Amino acid sequence: MYETFSQVRPSSSESKPNLLTRICGQPPLFSPEHQLLNWLVGVMVVLVFLFAAENAIIGVPLVAPDVAGGLFYLGLYYLGRFRRAPVKLIGNVVFGANLLLLTLAWLANDGIDGSSFFLYLATLVGIMSVFRGRWRFAWTCAMFAHVAAMIGLQYLYPAWVMPYISPAAQRIDMAFTFFTVAVFMMGYVGVNVYNLDERTRVADELLVNILPHVVAKKLKYAPAQVIAEYRADTSILFADIVSFTPLSAGLVPIELVKLLNSVFSYFDTLTDKYGVEKIKTIGDCYMVAAGVPTERVNHAEVLTRLALEMREYVSSHDFQGKRLSLRIGINSGAVVAGVIGYRKFAYDLWGDAVNTASRMESHGQPNVIQITGSTYELIKEAFVCQPQGCIDVKGKGEMPVWHVVAARA
C-alpha cells in the first residue's frame, strides 16, 4: 500500500502528460494515494502563501508562520513528487503539520464562528483518501479529537481566540476559505476520475491481451454469460520448436525463458500484422487461428503467409547462440470457440479441425510447413505446394498432405 511507486512500466499507449499528471505524477509510476497526496501538498503550497497575503491584507499577525509553512510544504512536495518518498512518511508529516495550521487558523479567525472550521472537511477527505487501515482510523480520530479540543479550548479560554477585526475581514476570510475547499475538492475529483480512467484503460488492455477484443468486450459488460460459438470456415496453425527438450536441458532457466520470449514475442508481432488470433502457447508450441472469433474469407491464405514469415525468422536468426528450426502444421475446417474458466479466463478452440492441425505439426519435418487437403484447396492458387502422398496420422488413418514451398509471384 505504501510503496514509493509502482514498478509497472508505462505502456506504449500512455497518453501525454497533462497539467494534472505534471502536478501529481503519471499513474503508471505513482499510486492513487501518492497522486492524491501530491495534489494535496501542491495545493497547500499555493494556498498557504495566499493565506499569508490575505492575513497581511486584513491585518492578522500570521504572515511569517504562513510563509514558513509554505516553504515547509514546498519541501514536502519536492520529496513526494520528485524524490518519490513513501506515502506513509510524507502523509504523516503533512497531516501533522495540517493540525498545527488548523490550530493557528482557528485561534486567529474567530474559532468556531469563523470560516477555518470548513478547512477540516478538506483535511478529512485527504486523510480518508491517502491512508488505509489503522492509519486512516488513527488520523480520523485525531481530527475529531482536535475539533473537540479546539471547541473546549475556546469555551474555557475565550480570550485566546481572536475575533475578526471587521465584518469585511470576515467576508474576505470566508470567501477565501470556501475557495480553498472548492479548489481542493475539484482537484480531488479530478485526480480520482483520471486514475479511474487510467486504470480502466490498463484493465481493458490486459483483458484484450488475454482474450480476443470482441470476446473481451462481451465479458466486460456481461461477465456471467457463456461465450461459445461455431465457426465453419477457419484455419488453425501449430508451430513447434524442433528438439526443444534436449536443447532446454543445456540452458539455465533465465536463458530458456529469454529464448522462448524472443521467439514468441516476434510471433506476436506477426499475428498483429496479419490480424489473426493467437490462441495460446503450450510449452514450446505456438497456436494461432484465423477466421475466429471474427469471420474471414482468406483465413487459410493469411495463416500460410504467417507461417512462411515465422519459418523465415527462426531459420535466419540465432537465439542464445543457437540455431532453431520449426515444425509447422496447418489445417482448415470447423471449430467451436469459447471462453472457459472462472478465475483465469482462457479462450480456446475445440473440434476435429484443431486436432488435425496439431497432428500436421507433430507428424511434420523440421523447417517444413505441412498442410492438409482442406487447406491446400483454399491456397493452391496463391502458393507453391508440393504433394507428399499420404501419411499415417494418429487417430485419422491415412491422409494426403502437402508442403508449402513459397508464395506464388
The dihedral region occupied by 84, where left means phi > 0, alpha psi between -120 and 50, and beta the remainder, is: left
pLDDT of residue 24: 86
CA distance linking residue 349 with residue 282, whole number of Å: 14
CA 209/CA 324 separation, integer angstroms: 27
pLDDT of residue 270: 95
pLDDT score for 223: 66
Query: What's the pLDDT score for residue 170?
Result: 84
Mean pLDDT of the 104-127 span: 86
What is the three-class DSSP state of 151?
Answer: helix
Helix or strand or coil: residue 114?
A: coil
Instruction: Using pLDDT thresholds of 50, 70 and 90, give the confidence band for residue 15.
Output: low
- Identify which has the larger pLDDT, 66 or 111: 111
Residue 351 confidence class, pLDDT cut points 50, 70, 90: very high
User: Which whole number is the average pLDDT over 199-219?
Assistant: 78
More confident: 124 or 201: 124
Instruction: Tell me the C-alpha to C-alpha distance, in Å, between residue 337 and each of 17, 236, 273, 379.
Output: 40, 12, 22, 23
Could you read off the pLDDT of 213-239 as tens digits, one per residue?
Answer: 778 777 777 666 778 899 999 999 999
- The pLDDT of residue 2 is 32
Residue with cell 472462472: 342
Of 249-253, 322-326, 341-345, the poorest mean pLDDT is in 341-345
The per-residue pLDDT for 16 is: 65
The owner of cell 479530478 is: 190
pLDDT at 137 over 90: yes
Least confident piece of the model among 314-323, 324-333, 353-362, 396-405 = 314-323
Cα within 13 Å of Cα(192), Cβ side: 12
Beta bridge partners of 338: 228, 348
pLDDT at residue 42 greater than cutoff 60: yes
pLDDT at residue 56, as a whole number: 81
Residue 9 scores a pLDDT above 50: no
List of residues 6+ apart from 293 with CB closer than 8 A:
212, 214, 215, 229, 231, 277, 337, 347
Checking if the pLDDT of 329 tops 90, the result is yes
* Residue of 46, 135, 53 whose CA lies nearest to 95: 135
Query: Which band of pLDDT confidence, cut at 50, 70 and 90, is reported for residue 3?
Result: very low
Instruction: Please give the pLDDT value at position 10.
Output: 40
Q: For a pLDDT cut of 70, what percent of the chain falls above it?
A: 95
pLDDT at 307: 96
Extract the runs of DSSP E, i.e. beta strands, from 97-226: none
What count of other Cβ atoms lies within 10 Å of the Cβ of residue 167?
Answer: 8
Give the separation between CA 118 and CA 242, rounded to whole angstroms.
72
Q: What is the pLDDT of residue 1?
A: 32
- In 3-state terms, what secondary structure has residue 389? strand
Residues 6+ apart with CB under 8 A from 51: 62, 66, 105, 176
The average confidence (pLDDT) of the chain is: 86
Given a contact cutoff of 8 angstroms between Cβ atoms, the answer to whether 9 and 28 are in contact is yes
pLDDT in tens, 252-296: 888 889 899 999 999 999 999 999 999 999 889 999 999 999 899
| Distance between CA atoms of residues 154 and 157, nearest Å | 5
Percent of the chain with pLDDT over 90: 40
Query: Is the confidence at residue 200, as pLDDT, over 90?
Result: no
Look at residue 138 and tell me whether its pLDDT is greater than 90. Answer: yes
Quick check: 140 pLDDT over 70?
yes
Cα of first residue to Cα of last residue in the chain, in angstroms, is 60
Write down the pTM of the prediction: 0.62
pLDDT at residue 404 above 90? yes
Domain 219-407: top CATH class: alpha beta
Domain ranges (residues) in the chain:
19-208, 219-407
What's the pLDDT at 380? 92
Within 8 A by CB and 6+ apart from 183, the residues are 43, 47
Q: DSSP labels for 338-370?
A: EEE-SSS-EEEEESHHHHHHHHHHHT--TTEEE
For residues 80 and 34, the answer to whether their CB atoms sit within 8 Å is yes
What average pLDDT does range 13-24 have in this prediction?
71
